[in-house]
Each structure stands twice: as C-alpha cells, then as structure tokens.
Amino acid sequence: MVVVMVVVIVIIIIIIIIIIIIIIIIIIIISIIIIIIIIIIIIIIIIIIIIIIIIIIIIIIIIIIIIIIIIIIVVVVVIVVVVVLIVVIVIIVVVVFIVIIVVIAVLILQTLCNEVTGKGYCKIQTAITTVTINNFNNRKTYKKLIFEVNKDDSLLYYDQYLID
C-alpha cells in the first residue's frame, strides 16, 4: 500500500510539475506575444510620427515657397507700376512743357508779328533759322526769327542777333 501511495504521490507530483511547466511555457509564450505586439505598436506609432513630421515639413516648405513667390510677384508688380508711373509722369511733364513752350512761343511770335506787320494774324513759316552774312570779308552768323506774313506771303526777318 505504501508503494502505491508513493507511486500515486510521485505521479501527482509529476503531473503538478508538468502542469506548472505547461503554465510557465504558456505564460512565456503569452509574454513573448505581448512583447511583440507592444514592439509592433511602438514601431507603428514611430512610423506615424515620422510621417506626420515629414508631412508638416513638406507643408512648411510649400508655404515658404508660396510666400517667396508671392513676395517676388508683388515686388515685380510694384517695380513695374513705379516704372510705368515714372514714365507716364515724365511723358506728361514733357508734353505739358512742350505745350507750354509752344503756346508761349506762338504768343510771343504773334506779338512780334503784330509789331512788325500791324496785322492781327501771322503764320509762322520757320521759327528760328541761322543766316551767315559776309560783311567786309568778316564772316558773321546771325540768328533770325522768320515770319510769314499773310498779306503777300513775303518773309519778314525780325529780332536779328549775333552768334559768333
């Protein structure tokens, strides 16, 4: 009976040891699986973070490029507008200056015409001409204002002065 008891106890102990070993193996396998799952989750999180960082960097670079392009376009447009304004202002000033000079010249020539001819109207043939006159073998150049008089279309010389 004692032998049977010992055998039964040994069998029970062996069964308990086998069960403990199986439980330990199951715990180890479950632990390994959990560790692998945790590692995979960490790797996925790291990959997602890296992708988000790359996307943010790309968006920032695109925004910077767009801002630079907008600044360049604005600068070019401002430069073109300023140049066009300057050209327009210069053209306007030159045209106004020419118109003022022509009006003043016409008024002056009209007044001179009135003094010379006594007429109220005088067509201007040539405003200013240079005439060279030989005077006692002494060559002198004179500037003269030339008018065309309506009455007989003859040229009148007025306001002669020496250049040389």
Q: What is the DSSP string of 61-122?
A: HHHHHHHHHHHHHHHHHHHHHHHHHHHHHHHHHHHHHHHHHHHHHHHHHHHHHHHHH--S--
Residue with the larger pLDDT of the pair 104 and 92: 92
Residue with the larger pLDDT of the pair 164 and 24: 24
2 — pLDDT class (breaks 50, 70, 90): confident
In this prediction, residue 138 carries a pLDDT of: 46
In this prediction, residue 112 carries a pLDDT of: 62
Q: For residues 61 and 68, give the distance between their C-alpha atoms in angstroms, rounded to a whole number.
A: 10
The tokens of 160 are what? 């002669």
If DSSP codes are grouped into helix, strand and coil, which group holds residue 159? strand
Summarised one tens digit per residue, pLDDT across range 43-81 is 999 999 999 999 999 999 999 999 999 999 999 999 999
Residue 157 DSSP symbol? E
Phi, psi (degrees; rounded to nearest 5) at 162: -80, 135
34 — pLDDT class (breaks 50, 70, 90): very high
If DSSP codes are grouped into helix, strand and coil, which group holds residue 33? helix
For CA atoms 54, 55, 61, 64, the dihedral sign is: negative
158 — pLDDT class (breaks 50, 70, 90): very low
121 — pLDDT class (breaks 50, 70, 90): very low
Query: Counting beta carbons within 10 angstroms of the beta carbon of residue 142, is it exposed (0 to 12), middle (13 to 18) or buried (19 or more)?
Result: middle
Residues 6+ apart with CB under 8 A from 157: 131, 144, 145, 146
Whether the pLDDT of residue 160 is over 60: the answer is no
Quick check: 149 and 122 in contact, CB under 8 A?
yes
Q: For residues 105 and 135, give the distance between their C-alpha atoms in angstroms, rounded to a whole number.
A: 31
Average pLDDT in the 19-33 region? 93
Phi, psi (degrees; rounded to nearest 5) at 154: -90, 155
98 — pLDDT class (breaks 50, 70, 90): confident
